[in-house]
């Protein structure tokens, strides 16, 4: 009997771990990647910046890995009411701030506000006051997440969009303080039941049905969400905006290009989307990186689990950095998360912009001393 319970307990634990891994998409594929001494020297010489991480706990080994790679990180908060830990803004702010303050030469905070409070009479006033408090403490950016556009509805059942007038004072405030808005608006095609045009198969929406928009009656299309984002860009030409995940146009770089042309205050990050680029025609992706070399920030979306005893698994992070470097910097033919691809072999001056200069310019304060 006890044995049976044990087997059930182990199975339940296994499923929980698998679900957690799938949620955050950090399952490793293939063998451990190691950087050669020459590659490590090239990467560290750039003083690289990972402009998209979510770090809420740390360890000596993790910080040691960042130091060895000379990696700086932007540590981003976001309120997610579908995740027990991320529901609380104050808890994640405390945890991330502790990491940032104890690694002031490596990390900066990107704060956020709780969009679920949008119905409160004093919503924008309180959000602005809290953001300003974080800016005073050294936060260099603020984030708005995909629940705006894909989840939050007003009392009439209408989806709240990024250009909702209730966010206007917040955008003004971020621009007035010279900070950067990181926006994750929309998701890839699969969220709307449309397969990736390049054959990338995502299991994310099986593990996270709450983001499957094809199940939500009256949900806006991605195009509608991106158009709302574009109205924010047009209304606030003085607001620097970094659209995470290639602005959710990771599979449609040809559609992202005209947006970058139209809005000079828009840049994008690569977070968690290199795994989709590797499916696309190499020449097209390479041409995009060359043409928009001043507008793309390197980021990973790496995400340790605060809810478990597991640390940030430095080897797994390093694995991601190694794979990405091989893709961007070399012309090697290799397996990127089980998909055979050839590296882009970007020129050194473009790598320097991707890994350092663009983050430093689009997110001022990332490099300065904290106090
Ligand atoms: Zn993220």
pLDDT of 354 > 90? The answer is yes
How far away, in angstroms, is 53 Cα from ligand 1 center? 6
Instruction: Extract the tokens encoding 129.
Output: 């006051």
pLDDT at 262: 98
How far away, in angstroms, is 19 Cα from ligand 1 center? 18
Please state the rounded mean pLDDT for residues 66-73: 96
Look at residues 196, 245, 190, 198 and name the one whose alpha carbon lies nearest to residue 214. 190
pLDDT in tens, 113-168: 999 999 999 999 999 999 999 999 999 999 999 999 999 999 999 999 999 999 99
Q: Looking at the DSSP assignment, which residues form a beta bridge with residue 243?
A: 183, 268
> Using CA atoms, how far apart are residues 68 and 63, in angstroms rounded to an integer?
9
Q: Name the burial class of residue 132, with classes exposed (0-12), middle (13-18) and buried (19+) by CB atoms within 10 angstroms of its CB.
A: middle
How far away, in angstroms, is 305 Cα from ligand 1 center? 13
Please state the rounded mean pLDDT for residues 46-52: 97
> Using CA atoms, how far apart are residues 291 and 229, in angstroms rounded to an integer?
23
DSSP letter assigned to residue 356: I
How far away, in angstroms, is 54 Cα from ligand 1 center? 7
pLDDT at 35: 85
How far away, in angstroms, is 52 Cα from ligand 1 center? 6
Q: Of the segments 202-206, 287-291, 364-368, which one has the largest average pLDDT value? A: 287-291
How far away, in angstroms, is 245 Cα from ligand 1 center? 8
Percent over 70 (pLDDT), the chain: 88
pLDDT at 191: 96
CA 189 vs. chain centroid, Å, equals 17
> Using CA atoms, how far apart are residues 362 and 304, in angstroms rounded to an integer?
25
How far away, in angstroms, is 208 Cα from ligand 1 center? 15
How far away, in angstroms, is 256 Cα from ligand 1 center? 19
Return mean pLDDT, the chain.
Answer: 90
How far away, in angstroms, is 38 Cα from ligand 1 center? 30
- Around ion ligand 1, which residues have CB less than 5 A away? 301
Asked if 85 contacts 303 with a C-beta cutoff of 8 angstroms, the reply is: no
Asked if 176 contacts 238 with a C-beta cutoff of 8 angstroms, the reply is: no
Positive or negative CA dihedral for 128, 130, 134, 139? negative
How far away, in angstroms, is 147 Cα from ligand 1 center? 12
State the pairing for strand pair 180-183/141-144.
Answer: parallel
How far away, in angstroms, is 272 Cα from ligand 1 center? 8
pLDDT at 160: 98
How far away, in angstroms, is 299 Cα from ligand 1 center? 9
pLDDT at 176: 98
Look at residues 87, 148, 154 and name the one whose alpha carbon lies nearest to residue 120. 154
Pick the CATH number of 2-362 from 3.40.640.10, 3.40.50.620, 3.20.20.140, 3.10.20.30: 3.20.20.140
How far away, in angstroms, is 162 Cα from ligand 1 center? 17
The residues near 362 (Cβ < 8 Å, ≥ 6 apart) are 51, 180, 240, 242, 267, 297
Please state the rounded mean pLDDT for residues 91-109: 96
How far away, in angstroms, is 186 Cα from ligand 1 center? 13
Positive or negative CA dihedral for 24, 29, 34, 40? negative
Domain boundaries, the chain: 2-362
How far away, in angstroms, is 143 Cα from ligand 1 center? 10
User: Greatest CA span in the chain, whole angstroms?
Assistant: 67
pLDDT of 97 > 60? The answer is yes
- Residue 200 CB: number of other CB atoms within 10 A? 20
């Amino acid at each position: 009997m006890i044995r049976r319970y044990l087997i059930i307990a182990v199975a339940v634990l296994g499923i929980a771990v698998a679900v957690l891994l799938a949620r955050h998409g950090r399952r490793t594929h293939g063998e451990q990647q190691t950087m050669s001494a020459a590659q490590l020297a090239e990467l560290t010489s750039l003083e690289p910046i990972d402009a998209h991480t979510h770090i809420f706990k740390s360890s000596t080994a993790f910080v040691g890995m960042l130091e060895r790679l000379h990696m700086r990180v932007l540590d981003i908060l976001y309120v997610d009411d579908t995740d027990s830990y991320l529901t609380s803004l104050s808890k994640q702010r405390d945890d991330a701030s502790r990491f940032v303050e104890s690694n002031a030469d490596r990390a900066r905070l990107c704060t956020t506000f709780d969009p679920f409070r949008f119905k409160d009479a004093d919503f924008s006033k309180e959000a602005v006051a809290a953001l300003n408090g974080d800016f005073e403490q050294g936060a260099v950016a603020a984030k708005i997440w995909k629940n705006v556009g894909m989840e939050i509805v007003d009392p009439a059942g209408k989806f709240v969009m990024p250009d909702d007038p209730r966010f206007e004072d917040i955008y003004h405030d971020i621009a007035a303080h010279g900070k950067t808005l990181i926006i994750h608006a929309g998701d890839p095609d699969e969220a709307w039941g449309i397969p990736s045009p390049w054959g990338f198969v995502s299991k994310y929406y099986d593990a996270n049905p709450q983001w499957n928009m094809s199940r939500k009656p009256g949900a806006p299309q991605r195009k509608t969400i991106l158009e709302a984002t574009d109205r924010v860009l047009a209304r606030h030409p003085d607001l620097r905006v970094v659209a995470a995940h290639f602005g959710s146009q990771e599979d449609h770089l040809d559609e992202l290009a005209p947006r970058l042309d139209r809005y000079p205050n828009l840049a994008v990050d690569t977070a968690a989307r290199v795994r989709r680029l590797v499916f696309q025609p190499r020449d097209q992706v390479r041409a995009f990186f060359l043409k928009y070399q001043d507008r793309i920030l390197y980021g990973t979306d790496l995400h340790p689990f605060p809810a478990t005893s597991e640390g940030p698994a430095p080897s797994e992070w390093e694995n991601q950095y190694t794979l990405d470097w091989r893709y961007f910097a070399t012309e090697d033919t290799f397996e990127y998360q089980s998909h055979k691809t050839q590296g882009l072999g970007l020129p050194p001056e473009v790598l320097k912009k991707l890994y350092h200069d663009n983050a430093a310019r689009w997110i001022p304060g990332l490099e300065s001393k904290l106090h």
